[in-house]
Amino acid sequence: MDRPAATVLVTGVRAKTGRPLATSLAGRDDVTVRGGSGDPAAVDVPDVEPVAFSWDDPTGWDAAVRGVDGVYVVRPDRPDAPALIGDLLARTAPHTRVVLLSDLDAGFGGADRWSLRVEEAVRDSGRPWVALRPGWFAQVLTDPRFYLGPIVEDGELPYPAGDAALSWIDARDIAAVAEVALLDPAYDGRLLTLTGPAAYTLPETASLVSQALGRPVVHRDQTVAEATSGGEGFQLALDTVTFERVRAGVFALVTDTVTEVTGRPARRFEDYVTEAFSRVATTENSGSPR
């Protein structure tokens, strides 16, 4: 490839999209990857240079962005995100390409136009930019902080979707799109709405999980208030509006943008579920700790 060598900062390098993105970029001869984390000592992605990066500590930002040609920004879900991202990008060289992890419903804006203002901060940076607007990640089902516990321990998937469907997307496809967007100027200035190849109701989702796990898993519908109980402040407001939009069917949208950008179809949700929950079942059967 006759592209000049590039250095890319991947924020959230330990997260669902940052890890596969950094892994793939690090496999290229012409890209040096810096992996940002609040806990750089815990960064274990091969051939990635760990760097301290926290939205809470701007003193580390200059070192994190020094000499970079591209930045993958995992949106921090906090009220001051537009200002924080603007401050970070002001420290980058003007040619630095920025790929923002936003979300499918960002065009709605939510309270105070927050998600739109995050995207505007990137656009107004003057840097070449791309905003990724993915739907719900399939990987939230296997995230111990969210649904893995109820699925494995209680045989249920509590989720306030009503009859609405979701076009679950594999986070590895978001990473694949981010990789192209970071390296190829063809997508500059685009809002890329990313979804899986089909939408599934929650009973259908639970049924697929059940098949892969080899025991019953049922969907338990919730009210939005039940699903968000225990939350507070900004996060509560964000989660509430997100689940209300889920119930309204907004996240059933299916696009072919993954195919357009990567040249191959988006991964099938049922393949992710089979792969991930068969592994959970195998781990349980072998008696190993999860």
Ligand X SMILES: NC(=O)c1ccc[n+]([C@@H]2O[C@H](COP(=O)([O-])OP(=O)(O)OC[C@H]3O[C@@H](n4cnc5c(N)ncnc54)[C@H](OP(=O)(O)O)[C@@H]3O)[C@@H](O)[C@H]2O)c1
Footprint on this chain of ligand X (rule: CB under 6 A) = 12, 14-18, 37-39, 53-56, 74-75, 77, 101, 103, 134, 136-137, 140
Q: Which is nearer to ligand X, 146 or 284 (CB)?
A: 146
Residue 30: CB minimum distance to ligand X, A: 25
Q: What is the DSSP string of 205-256?
A: HHHHHHHHHTS--EEEE--HHHHHTT--HHHHHHHHHHHHHHHTTGGG----
Q: Which is nearer to ligand X, 17 or 210 (CB)?
A: 17
Residue 2: CB minimum distance to ligand X, A: 33
Q: Which is nearer to ligand X, 16 or 219 (CB)?
A: 16
How far apart are the C-alpha atoms of 275 and 233, rounded to whole Å?
A: 36
3-state secondary structure of 154: helix
Residue 39: CB minimum distance to ligand X, A: 5
Residue 215: CB minimum distance to ligand X, A: 25
Identify the CA nearest to 72 among candidates 126, 121, 115, 18. 18
Residue 12: CB minimum distance to ligand X, A: 4
Q: Which is nearer to ligand X, 146 or 204 (CB)?
A: 146
How far apart are the C-alpha atoms of 173 and 266, rounded to whole Å?
A: 6
Q: Which is nearer to ligand X, 214 or 268 (CB)?
A: 268
Q: What is the DSSP string of 89-128?
A: HHTS-TT-EEEEE--TTGGG--GGGHHHHHHHHHHTT-S-
